[in-house]
Amino acid sequence: MKNKELDIVNGTVPLLNTIGSAQILYVTAELEPFSNQQKPDLVFYPKGKFKNVLFVEFKIAPPSGFSKNYWANFDEKKSFVESSSEVNLTYIFAANVKIEEQIIEKLKGINVQVWDEVESSELLCNKIKKWAMETKKTCNCDFCNEIQNQGGNKFSDIYSKLNIKTRIIGENDKFVVLPTIGQLFKYSLLILPKRHIESMSKLDKEGIESLVDIVKKTKEKLSDYGKVVIFEHGAQKDTGGSCGIYHAHVHVIPLPSDLNLSSFFYSDSVVKKYENLNDCYSDLRKSSQYLMTINTDGSLYAVDTSDNFQQYPSQFFRKKLVEYYNINRHWDWREYLTSEPDLLQTIEEINF
């Protein structure tokens, strides 16, 4: 059984030569009472300017399957592997059998991805190639790096010094919630999709339903702290708009008073009112850039700014909020270079 593990890993290495380099190590073997030569791990280094490498722990399941004890201390194993490396790792557990959903969720909770039913070198190689392609698309995305806990993002640059590993305070199957860097108002939050998309209008029907669910829960969480307003500046990367991060994000902010953000739209803009987010995003699906707001009274408006994006520059609503409330804080989130007490308090007090 263990020789087959080595055969599959050995057979994968030459198949990866065109997209990077692979190396066989025996890191996890040090934690198990078996011969190192029979418990291989695979480390893959993609070509290009990638910020992390791939670590694959490949296992052939025993005839009786993996025991419950096998998963008990997996977080300690992951920590040991990470401590043995000087670079950021994406940890993969790969196996030849189907892994139970509850185990997949457990490992996901400690940022370990599962590749199951991998029965050959070719299948393992294809999985790695797919990972490399997806990572290439998002390796320069600040939010993707943060969600995947890979480092190389503004939050970790500032807050890792305080031993704060994450600012995620809520999530569902498709989205995470976290406090905004550049807190204009205490408890300001962002909702981000876990999968890299450039604007929420590109979500499918299931994705919009999941977004509606988490928007509702997030708004309820903040209702005790002010009048809640919600907005998005959706932009495709090739437009040069948005705030410099082309990973969709919705702002959810408790304000000190009622306010219709839609009143900030210019009079020559075509402003549309919608009954719900599904109608709004369906209408904006082909838009390259837009602004959407749900006002404190619950009314939903949007403007397609594809043809007049210069009127609505990066962080348009943040600028307007600073002006309207005469806030003595910078509107640009990129100007915040040190830890913020309001952000730390949000992490401490709000979770769901």
- Measured from the Cβ of residue 185, the count of other Cβ atoms closer than 10 Å reads 19
pLDDT tens-digit profile, the chain (352 residues): 457 888 999 999 999 988 888 988 887 766 665 444 457 889 998 876 555 688 999 998 888 888 888 888 888 888 788 777 766 678 999 999 999 999 998 887 777 899 999 999 999 999 999 888 877 665 578 898 888 877 778 999 999 889 898 999 999 989 999 999 999 999 999 999 988 888 999 888 888 999 999 999 999 999 999 999 999 999 876 555 555 678 899 999 999 999 999 999 999 999 999 999 999 999 998 888 999 999 999 999 999 998 887 889 889 999 999 999 999 999 999 999 999 999 999 999 998 8
Amino acid at site 327: I
Q: In what order do the strands lie in the sheet with 20-25?
A: 20-25, 41-46, 52-59, 88-95, 112-115
Residue-level length of the chain: 352
Nearest Cα residue to 75 out of 36, 108, 42: 108
* Confidence (pLDDT) at 34: 45
* Confidence (pLDDT) at 308: 81
Evaluate whether 100 touches 41 at the Cβ level (below 8 Å).
Answer: no
For 249, the 3-state DSSP assignment is: coil
Evaluate whether 214 touches 177 at the Cβ level (below 8 Å).
Answer: yes
- Measured from the Cβ of residue 72, the count of other Cβ atoms closer than 10 Å reads 9
For 27, the 3-state DSSP assignment is: coil
Nearest Cα residue to 202 out of 236, 176, 174, 231: 236
Nearest 5 degrees, angle CA 2-CA 27-CA 157? 140
Domain ranges of the chain: 2-138, 144-349
CA distances from 8 to 4, 42, 104, 129 (A): 6, 10, 22, 16
Beta strands in 116-241 (DSSP E): 170-171, 175-179, 189-193, 227-235
CA 111 to centroid of chain Cα atoms:
12
Report field, pTM of the whole predicted structure over 0.85: no
* Confidence (pLDDT) at 36: 43
CATH architecture of residue range(s) 144-349: 2-Layer Sandwich (3.30)
* Confidence (pLDDT) at 52: 64
First-residue to last-residue Cα distance in the chain: 44
Q: Which two tokens stand for residue 168?
A: 């995620």
* Confidence (pLDDT) at 112: 86
- Measured from the Cβ of residue 327, the count of other Cβ atoms closer than 10 Å reads 13
CATH architecture of residue range(s) 2-138: 3-Layer(aba) Sandwich (3.40)
Nearest Cα residue to 174 out of 220, 211, 148, 224: 211
In sequence order, what DSSP letters do the residues of 316-327 get, joined into one string?
HHHHHHHHHHT-
